[in-house]
A and B are shown apart, each in its own frame.
Chain A
Amino acid sequence: MPFDETYDVVVAGGGNAALCAAITAARAGRSVIVLEAAPAFYRGGNTRHTRNLRCAHDGSAPTMTGPYDPAEFLDDLYRVTGGETDKALAQLTIARSHELIPWMNKQGVLFQPPLGGTLSLGKTNAFFLGGGRGMLNALYRQAEALGVVCLNDAPVTALTIEDGFFTAATIQYQGQPRQVRGHTFVAAAGGFEANIEWLKQHWGDAADNFLIRGTPYNRGDVLRMLLDNGVMPVGDPTQCHAVAIDARAPKFDGGIATRLDSVVFGIMVNRNAQRFYDEGEETWPKRYAIWGRLIAQQPDQIGYSIVDSQSIHMFMPSIFPAVQASTIGELAGKLQLNAAALEKTVADFNTAVRPGTFDHTVLDDCATSGLAIPKSHWARKLDKPPYYAYPLRPGITFTYLGVRVNEESRMVLANGKTAANMFAAGEIMAGNVLGKGYLAGIGMTIGAVFGRIAGEGAAKHARN
């Protein structure tokens, strides 16, 4: 039975960070158990929806264009976080990110060159062949080959921690509570983005209308237990990363295929058929991340992106068909919006559009004038029927609240001391590095770098 022995390393979570920690500790000869809350198919938390990791490199990686200099990486991180990052940990992340491709290759993870719509990330990001689930499958195969005990359907329900010292985790397994004893603990169990009740503490009933892009198992239970056991928090507890996704997406686990990038090509209205923000403010990827929050602030947390036939093929195809109509009034009817209000919004917008040269790849000179809420780029009249609409809702990707760690990935307690045998890696501590905003692939980088550091630290501690 897996519950008879005391493991050198007990890992809570089963995604990228958890597996990197488990593999590292197992390679150092330690006995390791991985406790994943989700069933086998849903294992790995947000990792199963990822696609790449960001890494500094000298340009010699066969699947990447490059090079990506550490200083440039740091600049990018500072830009998106507005400086809300622990500089030492940020530098550590970047310094060790360059080891990740060869290390992952050694574990059986394959990479591919970016293709099609992702060419712009070819310099900075290494793409997993087949995406995050392919990468995760390879890591699990490696971990199991190294003798790591990997349990699915094994949520941690309690942690036995005394004065910042871990002795055991309680899990619910095959219908009964089980004790898993360990010499060290690695928390790599993600954030609380799927925990609607927790989200409601800060967002109120609006959170009922949020869609969760990952699995329902990202509940933040381990994070909650650690904070309740005196571990120092990091990151804004109210904040989450939200993008605009198709409102028809499933409540949980819609992943990448539900995102839509149609907003900049037309107008965005709320339930009252009113525009509420400059659709032409920013280029990808920044615009990608602002619309989730903007829609969350609208009545019923819903928005409608409206485009016409000249734009319908200019963005990535959608998983759901657009709502289509030959007039704006008819479109309003199909969307159950006030037809007169929508017609007026579109007419006002069309009147305000100034001539310009449309180019969606740059901040072009197509803008409106005279509107209270302008559209500052890519503004073209909506006058080429048929008209199309996509309903959009906030899609929650991850949360920023986490546990404070030091450069050994060791948890820092609320009293300022470092925990003797508790480490954290991945989204549960990503707030140390990414206090705000988002940078494509940074989550996997933080997970893999701190997963390895936590695995090294736990292996070392368990030996002593």
Chain B
Amino acid sequence: MPVTETQRAGALVEADRLMTICNACRYCEGLCAVFPAMEMRRTFADADLNYLSHLCHQCGACYTDCQYSPPHEFNVNVPAALAKVRNDSYAHYAWPRAFAPAFARNGLTITLLTAASVAGFIVGFVALRDPALLFSPNAGDFYKVMPHNAMVALFGAVFLYAIAALAVGLRAFWRDINGSADAQAIGQATGDAAHLRYLGGGGGGCTSESEKPSARRRIFHHFTFYGFLFCFAATSVATVYHYGFGWRAPYTLASLPVLLGIVGGLGLLVGPAGLFVLARKRDAVLVDTQRQGMDTAFIAMLFLTSLSGFALMLWRDSGAMGILLALHLGVVLGLFLSLPYGKFVHGLYRYLALVKYARDKRTAAFVE
């Protein structure tokens, strides 16, 4: 269902109501960063709520610990309220504004985008190269199907666009929340993000599948995040190989890019699969049910990137290579194009919020 302006305002109104209750209670202040950050304020402007929403890792601990959660008449449900604010804020800060609606029907948007990308590669291979090459064994040489320079030009341009679009949105967010940073805050926030410190309910774990806290969600997120980093490292090393040393792909199984890619790829199979299963088991009361498609789309894209990458690696010497390459490149292009308009952004906004929190906490910046 599309999210309208009225619902957006509604999410902020509800979060404001809850933060006012929570600020008078404060029992949850040991659970995560949201509540200590809340205590630095007495009123909650839209930007404050956007900031707090990104500090929330949606572990659910404050819901199961809350004396005012439903059916209590105060009806306090911080994880769900902040999830709605957070999801609204992605669209709010998105650049260009014309693409903001992509967040409302994220699953559909990304599916169509990816399907179009895959189709585009197939059509492109056929139209621009010899159609026969698409189905003939090419001894694992991808560049016969698509020249290296063409790949670099296409993905480089899309990647640069994604970075630019993300940067504009993040800058708007950072200004809006009156962010400030220093080396110590960046160090602290980097550590907090790397450990997913606040996905732990203050030590009790994440109430992901039941009211019993567990570390599972955090573990599968680690698989996903570090899998992503390994894959990124694989690509980076391959780029250095290509331009620095003139070593052209395909690389052997024992080479650094392939090894990094295998490790990262496994992470991107295990992590997203685990997160997907846990999300299905999760109590619907804790999440923004209207926009779960965004989460699903992102982890599906990561999973498919890895799966198609492995398929390409296994069958790169066969006649299926051309189609598999189109599939893999199409998925990766879809992923790149949707980076600024999908769940990927959560990590960046959250990281900035953590930097601000680390800095505010140390300088005890109380906001009147």
Contacts and interface: CB of A to CB of B under 8 A. Distances in A.
Interface in A37-54: 41, 48-49, 51
B203 interface: yes
A116 B36 contact: yes
Contact of B21 (A49, A51, A313, A319): A319
B26 interface: yes
A177 B61 CA distance: 36
A137 B30 contact: no
A113 B39 CA distance: 16
B204 interface: yes
Chain B interface secondary structure, helix, strand, loop or mixed?
Answer: loop
Contacts, number: 88
Contacts of A318: 24
A134 interface: yes
A256 interface: yes
Contacts of B72: 41, 253
B212 A130 contact: no
A110 interface: yes
B117 to A, nearest CB: 45
B101 to A, nearest CB: 36
B290 interface: no
A319 B28 contact: no
Contacts of B203: 110, 129
A257 B64 contact: no
A257 B69 CA distance: 13
Interface in B306-360: none
B36 A130 contact: no
Nearest to A258: B24
A247 to B, nearest CB: 15
A133 interface: yes
B21 A257 contact: yes
B23 interface: yes
A346 B221 CA distance: 60
Given A130-B204, A257-B21, A313-B368, A115 B64 contact: no
A312 B212 CA distance: 41
A316 B67 CA distance: 19
B65 A250 contact: no
Contacts of A313: 42, 368
Interface string A117-133: 10000000001011111
B25 A116 contact: no
A130 B65 CA distance: 6
Interface string B191-232: 000000000011110000001100000000000000000000
Nearest to B25: A257
Nearest to B76: A257
B30 A130 contact: yes
A127 B30 contact: yes
A112 B202 contact: yes
A317 interface: yes
Nearest to B42: A317
A426 interface: no
- Residue of A131, A259, A313 with highest tally of chain B CB at under 10 A: A131
Given A317-B20, A319-B20, A131 B67 contact: yes
B215 to A, nearest CB: 14
Interface in A258-298: 258-259
A141 interface: yes
Contacts of B66: 133
Nearest to B36: A115
A70 interface: no
A233 interface: no
Contacts of A112: 29-30, 202
Given A130-B62, A250-B73, A313-B368, A255 B20 contact: no
Nearest to A44: B67
Contacts of B25: 255-257, 319
B65 A137 contact: yes
B211 A137 contact: yes
B282 to A, nearest CB: 18
B71 interface: yes
Nearest to B39: A116
Contacts of B64: 130, 133-134, 137
A260 to B, nearest CB: 9
Contacts of B65: 129-131, 133-134, 137
B35 to A, nearest CB: 9
B268 interface: no
Contacts of B201: 130
Given A133-B66, A253-B72, 18 more contacts: A48-B67, A129-B204, A130-B201, A133-B67, A253-B67, A255-B68, A256-B25, A257-B25, A257-B74, A259-B24, A313-B42, A313-B368, A316-B24, A317-B20, A317-B42, A318-B24, A319-B20, A319-B21
Give 9 nearest A-B pairs by CB, closest first: A130-B65, A112-B30, A131-B27, A134-B65, A319-B24, A257-B25, A257-B24, A317-B23, A317-B42
5 contacts: A51-B27, A130-B62, A134-B64, A137-B64, A257-B74
